[in-house]
Chains A and B, each alone.
Chain A
């Protein structure tokens, strides 16, 4: 486990030494805040107004955007994790280190997760303080919303890392991961058109159902924790398998 921390430190150094992470965080903060203040969430059967139009002290609109915006941000952070190592030829060297595959996977996962979650916190908390200054904000929904976001980011990161592990092209990794995460986001919209037998499965597989209906509204549901944890563990497991295979090759 200690060696996983070393990987984490290495990844952090690499992330914050390049301007990409800063630009990404800045764009994420600006876009999320802009959507929250002015646009609202116009997608789906129940559109939500922006902060000023709605006139209510709530961060629900901000959280509602997260499943979609993270489907772009997370792949952007994770696309280079394995693909860049392969492209630069450092993967072989990396695999000769006295570290087990799962330690590499865990270290890289924690690094990417912490960067993205840091961005989420960075946009959520200042906005929450601002909204609390404007009206009676329910802080417990903000707390649970952040906890749910942590789970959402973990699941997304683990899945997006798999895409990075499958290719040596960062762009391809980004596209595959965005497509997969975007499809997960779409599942909720398909429920209305699905036959009854499938609807329950789609709902159970949709990250929105496990985040927006519950944590983002201040409700803790154990099944949601099972979902996010399950997706994260599954993603990390596949990552380890892919890395193990490559090590054997």
Chain B
């Protein structure tokens, strides 16, 4: 009995030992047999060709100094660290000897700690459990990249975005000079201003991380200055009421081959007026660029786009009423599907254009659309973002709806008109542009003498036309890039969300000819939508969209047809679900039955 027990213990030890050996060999295989091949269509788990192209452009040695806490106590953090190290090593392998990595532990070496701190690589507190007690450990996981005399810092290496972050940093290191971006339209210096509607502080900081951002004040352009020629690209946000002289400066920048992104908003809004769904304080304000856009072949409509098929959800403030039916100070935020705030899916993007080829979504607010027009000879126009075919033009203010009932009523009225159309919301123009200033350059604006909107004299200045190929991106909205409203008010209006910013980055990269970065950043899982049987059946019945019936009899008939369509859709769905299961079971039972019958017959 004793001998048997001993044997069992030995067997158990041997099993554990074998398991340990197996796990250790798997870990060794993970470390040294790094073969990994991504066969999926999305290629999310492979280093993209864009990153490889960027690494391939390294001419000298890229030195990566990683500041990593070696003794990480949290298991989860240890795995994150292992993933980061594995990715860095894979990038090193792909660099074909042009990249070196050294690891330093700031928690052990004080020199490393102060060096990391000098680069802004601060350790983050990570929760760990030791002896049943919760503790916090400070963990560093950052890196400094050095190439020639340039330095880039990645303060925290996130394994899920490491490839994009790393490739962007290397791309910046490869540039002899930082790109210079001109910031025009809304003032750049808002350092001390409180966060409120219509500011772009987040966007500005994002751009400043990768390029030199230079302000190009509209007032200076109106006074006769021109846009600096050494700008690599120009960002114009919310141009409103521009004097012809400023428009002339913009036109001349484009005629010289400049690259420009203009985000329009033809509404002068009081911050909270717009935010609180009320219409007070909002008025239409022309950009002043109308003639220029017409000459370029992309006229912008003052009216907004009402996309009945793709309403985005936003929240409106609904105030409680007292016993007399008067609004009280109390209120709540109710979600409202708002067609004036469309949530555009992947299908809304032009797939042949690199910067939107893999875009998955964007949300606009009170967007303006571009009218169809023939661009001048030498200019190519490509509409890169569209609303759905069930979209309508809507004038601002009085039709601006704040409640579900008002919105639905407006949608019903539009659908009844049957004049829906797909409207371009963003347009890309490239080529040699025609200038609308052939008769002469407008005289500078003198605030002491001239009146806005008055007749503008022309000067004898030389007007350049079509000197070099230019690229212009025009977007019928600027709210999609705006800072969010403060605190609880954030969901009231859409702002610069992650998909919106990804789309913006792609456009900036396209304009600055960094298409490798677009390829790297576009590593998002492809949208693979399923067939929507309910929508199909409702469409087949002509019932898709809100109710347009006017009488109660019409409404009842419509509801009945809706019910029938939904039942048909449910039946189809069940059929689709059941056939694979039933066919699999039928196969097993038929084959098994036949085989059993044959066996018994032969027996």
Binding site for B on A (CB under 8 A): 13, 16-17, 21-22, 25-26, 29-30, 33, 37, 51-52, 55-58, 122-123, 126-127, 129-131, 133-138, 140-141, 143-144, 191-205, 210, 214, 217-223, 226-227, 230-231, 234, 238
Most buried by A among B40, B130, B596: B40
Q: Does B25 contact A (CB under 8 A)?
A: yes
Are B39 and A218 in contact, CB atoms less than 8 angstroms apart? yes
Least Cβ distance of A54 to chain B in Å?
A: 8
Inter-chain contacts of A129 with B (CB < 8 A): 580
Apart from A191-B75, A226-B25, A234-B18: 5 A-B pairs, beta carbons within 8 A:
A122-B587, A134-B531, A199-B76, A214-B45, A217-B45
Contact yes or no, A200 B40, CB < 8 A: no
Given A17-B596, A130-B576, decide whether A222 and B35 contact each other with a Cβ distance below 8 A.
yes
Cα(A144)–Cα(B71), bound, Å: 36
Contact B45 A219, beta carbon cutoff 8 Å? yes
- A-B pairs with the 5 shortest C-beta distances? A199-B75, A218-B40, A126-B580, A196-B78, A194-B75
CB-nearest residue of chain A to B595: A16
Q: Across the interface, do B576 and A134 meet the contact criterion of CB distance under 8 Å? A: yes
Assess whether B528 is in contact with A135, with CB atoms less than 8 Å apart: yes
Among B33-62, those with CB < 8 Å from A are 33-42, 44-46
Within 8 A of A (CB), among B124-180: 128-130
Of B39, B76, B585, B592, the contact of A219 (CB 8 Å cutoff): B39
CA distance A238 to B17 in the complex (A): 13
B22 close to A (CB within 8 Å): yes
Interface residue from B29, B39, B72, B592 paired with A196 (Cβ < 8 Å): B72
0/1 string, B574-600, CB within 8 A of A gives 1: 001101110111011100100110010
- How distant is A141 from chain B, measured CB to nearest CB, in Å? 5
Residues of B within 8 A of A194 (CB): 75
Q: Which residues of A contact B45 (CB under 8 A)?
A: 214, 217-219
Q: Is B530 an interface residue (CB 8 A)?
A: yes
In the complex formed, the residue of A with least CB distance to B579 is A130
B66-97 to A contact mask, C-beta < 8 Å, 1/0 = 00000111111111001000000000000000
What B residues does A193 contact at CB under 8 A?
75, 129
A204 x B531 contact (CB < 8 A): no
Does B559 sit at the interface, judged by CB under 8 A?
A: no
**Chain B residues with CB below 8 A from A201, complex form:** 23, 27
Contact A29 B18 (CB under 8 A): no
A3 to chain B, nearest CB (A): 22
Contact A135 B75 (CB under 8 A): no
CA distance A33 to B581 in the complex (A): 7
CB–CB A223/B29 < 8 A: yes
Chain A interface main SS type: helix
For B33, list chain A residues within 8 Å (CB).
222-223, 226
A21 and B596 alpha carbons, distance in the complex (Å): 13
Q: How distant is the Cα of A227 from the Cα of B15 in the complex, in angstroms?
A: 16
Q: Are B76 and A191 touching (Cβ within 8 A)?
A: yes
Measured between C-beta atoms, what is the minimum distance from B284 to chain A in Å? 39
B36 and chain A: residue at smallest CB distance: A221
Q: Given A196-B78, A219-B36, A226-B29, A52 and B584 touching (CB < 8 A)?
A: no
Which residues in B have their C-beta under 8 angstroms from that of A231?
A: 22
Distance to closest chain A CB from B62 (angstroms): 27
Find chain B residues with CB under 8 A from A133 CB: 531, 576
Knowing A138-B528, A140-B41, A195-B73, say if A222 contacts B79 (CB, 8 Å): no
Given A205-B19, A223-B26, decide whether A135 and B73 contact each other with a Cβ distance below 8 A: no
Indicate if the CB atoms of A26 and B36 lie closer than 8 Å. Answer: no
Q: Report how far A17 CA is from B592 CA in the complex, Å.
A: 8
- 12 A-B residue pairings within 8 Å (CB atoms): A25-B588, A129-B580, A140-B40, A196-B72, A200-B82, A210-B26, A214-B45, A219-B37, A222-B29, A222-B33, A227-B22, A230-B26
CB distance from B58 to the nearest CB of A (A): 27
Distance, CA A200 to CA B30, complexed state (A): 11
CA distance A33 to B75 in the complex (A): 35
| Assembled-state Cα–Cα distance A136/B22 (Å) | 39
A130 touches B577 (CB 8 A): yes
- Check B530 against A55 for contact (C-beta < 8 Å): yes
Q: Kindly state whether residue B325 has any CB partner on chain A within 8 Å.
A: no
Residue B599 contacts which of A13, A203, A210, A230 (CB distance < 8 angstroms)?
A13
User: Digit string of B488-522 for contact with A (CB within 8 Å is 1, else 0)?
Assistant: 00000000000000000000000000000000000
Rounded to whole angstroms, the CA-CA distance of A12 and B33 in the bound complex is 37
- With a cutoff of 8 Å between Cβ atoms, the chain B residues found around residue A238 in the complex are 15, 18
B206 part of interface (Cβ distance < 8 Å): no
**Given the complex, which residues of B lie within 8 Å of A192, measured CB to CB?**
75-76
B588, A218: Cβ atoms under 8 Å? no
Tell me which of B27, B29, B580 has the highest count of chain A C-beta atoms within 10 A of its own C-beta: B580
User: Chain B residues near A230 (CB, 8 Å)?
Assistant: 22, 25-26
User: B250 to chain A: closest CB distance in Å?
Assistant: 42
- B556 adjacent to chain A (CB < 8 Å): no
B194 in the interface, Cβ–Cβ < 8 Å? no
Assembled-state Cα–Cα distance A62/B176 (Å): 50
Whether B576 contacts A144 by the Cβ 8 Å rule is: no
Contact B580 A130 (CB under 8 A): yes
- In the bound complex, what is the Cα–Cα distance between A195 and B131 (angstroms)? 10
Which of B22, B129, B530 has its CB near the most chain A CB atoms (within 10 A)? B530
B529 within 8 Å of A (CB atoms): yes
Contacts of A127 in B (CB 8 A): 580
Task: Name the A residues within 8 Å of B530 (CB-CB).
Answer: 51-52, 55-57, 131, 134-135
**Residue of B26, B38, B46, B595 with highest tally of chain A CB at under 10 A:** B26
CA distance A218 to B526 in the complex (A): 14
With A16-B592, A56-B528, A196-B71 given, is the CB distance from A220 to B37 under 8 Å? yes
